[in-house]
Amino acid sequence: MNLISKLPNVGTTIFSVMSKMATDYNAINLSQGFPNFPVDPLLIELLKKKSSENIHQYIPMAGNLNLLHQIGNLIQKSYNRIIQVENELLVTAGATQAIFTTIQALVNRNEEVVILDPSYDCYESPIILAGGIPKRIPLNDDFLPDWKLIFETVNEKTKLIITNNPHNPSGRVWSEKDMGELEKLLRKFPNLLVLSDEVYEFITFEKKHLSVHSNEFLRSRSIVVSSFGKTFHITGWKIGYLVAPEFITKEIKKVHQFLVFCVNSVAQSVLAEYLPIVETEKLGGFYKEKRDFFIERLKDSRFELLPCEGSYFQVASYQTISNESDVDFTKRLVTEFGVATIPLSVFNENQSDRKLIRFCFAKDDETLIKATERLCKI
């Protein structure tokens, strides 16, 4: 049978490769972006309580109505934005599904979508499946937007620009100037929309996160994607949400209903009770301690650590250690030193290799201590 692949260039991701190597070599896994410490005990208590209630059947497609209102309250408290929760909000099976569904709903054949590299691997494939054309352009060397190049790339055929702030893998956050340039871009191209991936919105340090939510003009043309999995380190729950103007959300819901219809009813009920209690504004401080602890323990290593302003990722240069490609170097880190990381070249369309690797520091102290001890021996 002659089966023609719709995604001929997609294979096993580097995340799967490195995690398997970590298991095979009994290495410390700082590659994949999820915490290894327990979730909030209050979430567990609420889960036990809610799972005994009669909440195990289908719920409204857009989400648990109580949860929708609690998300609305969170957005108002965090960004001073009031949303119409029944028309501008959709609970999704994680941020990845939100991104996939948005692209399928909005991108037509031969329309272009701008991606800023290095970029997360879930952006390009849905564009290709929708018949769109991904236009991947590099960020500056400091991992912030190259606005000159962006303005040169966007044209009348560009349907979406995908932004990621705070940024994975670099941990950089946008400035007021960047937000202003994005607004200029939208004003120049009236049909352009923004897909704003803000899954690390509550994990920032010295610099405050600047959200599309906070700009009245930007939010009128944007889809903002958030993640409960990242915010509350419950990545296995696979639950997130998106916010967009009603005319956009209406189209996204059309696709959403045929992908998942509705998202896990128990998880939504738990989060509806948890949101009014939890203090999201304290999450940045929690992860800052993790970041600072990790940085302090690597100060005597041969790695050069780049600025980390948000997310739970730390990028490091190994230029003074080896001339190997970043993929080969990360594999050797596993086999010879017992630490798994991610090479940054895999986040770039052209596989640009600047001798940089990404550590995830969302780990318990014992794990970070063991990992940094090994890294300091290199």
pLDDT, tens digit (0-9, with 9 covering 90-100), for 265-289: 999 999 999 999 999 999 999 999 9
Is a pLDDT exceeding 90 seen at residue 50? yes
pLDDT tens figures, 82-129: 999 999 999 999 999 999 999 999 999 999 999 999 999 899 999 999
Give residue 375's pLDDT.
Answer: 97
Q: What are the tokens at 164?
A: 């990621």
Average pLDDT of span 24-46: 93
- 45 and 70 belong to one structural domain: yes
Do 246 and 179 belong to one domain? yes
Q: Residue 60: which pLDDT band, with cuts at 50, 70 and 90?
A: very high
Least confident range from 311-315, 347-351, 355-359: namely 347-351
Whether 200 and 298 share a structural domain: no
**Is residue 35 in some structural domain?**
yes
Asked if 86 and 148 sit in the same domain, the reply is: yes
340: Cα within 13 Å, side-chain hemisphere = 20
Q: Are residues 268 and 285 in the same domain?
A: no
136 has pLDDT over 80: yes
Residue 112 has what pLDDT?
A: 98
Looking at the structure of the chain, the number of domains it has is 2
199 with 338, same domain: the answer is no
Q: Which domain holds residue 307?
A: 14-39+281-375
Where is the domain boundary, 250, 274, 298? 274
Q: Is 288 exposed, middle or buried (0-12, 13-18, 19+ CB in 10 A)?
A: middle
Do 267 and 241 have their domain in common? yes
pLDDT of residue 12: 75
Q: Is the pLDDT of residue 343 over 80?
A: yes
CA dist 134 and 160 (Å) reads: 10
